[in-house]
Amino acid sequence: MTPITLYNSLTRATETFAPADPANVRIYSCGPTVYHYAHIGNLRAYLFTDTLGRVLTWLGYGLTHVINITDVGHLTSDADAGDDKMEAAAKKSGQDIWAVADHYTRAFKQNLKDLNVRDPARFPLATDHVEQMIAFGTAIADKHCYRLPDGLYFDVTTVPQYGLLAGTREDGPAEGRIETVEGKRHPADFAIWRTSAPGENRQMEWDSPWGRGAPGWHLECSVMSRQYLGDHFDIHTGGIDHREIHHPNEIAQNQAYSGSADTGATVWMHNNFLVDRTGKMSKSSGEFLTLPALVARGFHPLAYRLMCLQAHYRSELEFSWDNLAAAQTRLKRLVQSVAALKARGEGKGAAAASPYRERLAAAVADDLNTPRALPVLDELLADKRVSPQDRLAALANFDAVLGLELLTLTREDLRVRPESAGIDEAGIAARLAERREARAAKDFARSDAIRDELAAVGVEVMDGDPMGWDWKVQS
Ligand code: AMP
Ligand code: ZN
**Packed helices 130-144 and 246-258: angle between N→C axes, nearest 10 degrees:** 70
Higher pLDDT, 419 or 272: 272
Task: Starting from the CA of residue 241, give the closest ligand.
Answer: 1
pLDDT band per the 50, 70, 90 thresholds, residue 3: very high
Q: What is the pLDDT of residues 130-148, one digit of tens each?
A: 999 999 999 999 999 999 9
Same domain, 447 and 392: no
Q: Do 248 and 125 lie in a common domain?
A: yes
Q: Which ligand is nearest to the CA of 242?
A: 1
Domain harbouring 375, CATH code: 1.20.120
- What residue owns the CA closest to ligand 1's atom 7? 42
Q: Same domain for 72 and 167?
A: yes
Q: 397: helix, coil or strand?
A: helix
User: How wide is the angle at C-alpha 403 spanned by C-alphas 401 and 404, nearest 5°?
Assistant: 125
Residue 461's domain spans which residues?
Answer: 425-473
Residue 204: pLDDT above 70?
yes
> What is the pLDDT, as a whole number, of residue 173?
47
Residue 166 CA to ligand 2 centre (angstroms) = 15
Nearest-CA residue for ligand 1 atom 11 is 239
List pocket residues of ligand 1, CB cut-off 6 Å: 30, 32-33, 41-42, 44-45, 70, 238-239, 241-242, 271, 273-274, 280-281, 283
Look at residue 176 in the predicted model and tell me its pLDDT.
Answer: 45
DSSP secondary structure, 113-153, as one string: HHTTPPPPSB--BGGGGHHHHHHHHHHHHHHHEEEETTEEE
Between CA 99 and CA 73 the distance in angstroms is: 16
Residues 324 and 191 in one domain: no
Residue 291 within a domain: no
Is 267 in the same domain as 379? no
d(CA 167, CA 248): 10
Tell me which residue has its CA closest to atom 9 in ligand 1.
Answer: 239
290 falls within a domain: no
Residues 278 and 321 occupy one common structural domain: no
Question: For 378, left (φ over 0), alpha (ψ -120 to 50), or beta?
Answer: alpha
Ligand number with the minimum distance to the CA of 221: 2
Average pLDDT, the chain: 91
Give the number of the atom of ligand 1 that is nearest the alpha carbon of residue 240: 12
- For residue 420, being part of any structural domain is answered with no
- Domain-ending residue, one of 402, 417, 440: 402
Helices 85-93 & 97-114 angle (0-180, nearest 10): 110
Query: In terms of domains, do 75 and 162 share one?
Result: yes
> Domain boundary at 387, 402, 417, which?
402
Same domain, 31 and 124: yes
What is the per-residue pLDDT for 181?
A: 80
**289 within a domain of the structure (yes/no):** no
**What are the Cα distances from residue 110, in Å, to 158, 225, 408?**
42, 23, 20
Backbone phi, then psi, for 369, in 5-degree steps?
-80, 75
CA pair distance 271, 391, nearest whole angstrom = 32
Our count of domains for the chain comes to: 3
Is residue 10 a part of any domain in this protein? yes
Atom of ligand 1 nearest to the CA of 31: 6
Closest ligand (CA of 49): 1
Q: Same domain, yes or no, for 191 and 94?
A: yes
- pLDDT at position 194 over 60: yes
pLDDT in tens, 416-469: 777 766 777 788 888 888 999 999 999 988 998 888 888 887 788 877 766 666
| Cα separations in angstroms, 226 against 49, 203, 220, 458 | 19, 27, 10, 52
Confirm whether 445 is domain-assigned.
yes
**Nearest atom of ligand 1 to the alpha carbon of 42:** 8
Looking from the CA of residue 45, the nearest atom of ligand 1 is: 22
pLDDT, tens only, 281-308 = 776 666 689 999 999 998 999 999 999 9
Q: Which residue has the higher pLDDT, 280 or 38?
A: 38
Q: Which residues pair with 275 in a beta bridge?
A: 280, 318
Q: How far, CA to CA in Å, does 37 sit from each of 66, 180, 418? A: 20, 28, 20
Shared-domain flag, residues 163 and 252: yes
**Ligand 1 nearest atom to the CA of residue 30, by list position:** 10
Residue 292 lies in a domain: no
From 237, 256, 282, the end of a domain falls on 282
Cβ contacts of 86 within 8 Å, gap of 6 or more: 33, 34, 35, 71, 72, 74, 97, 100, 101, 204
Radius of gyration from C-alpha coordinates of the chain: 26
Same domain, 56 and 183: yes
104: pLDDT confidence band, cut at 50, 70 and 90? very high
Both 380 and 437 in one domain: the answer is: no
- Asked whether the predicted pLDDT for residue 349 surpasses 50, the reply is yes
Q: Examine residue 262 and state whether it is found in any structural domain, yes or no.
A: yes
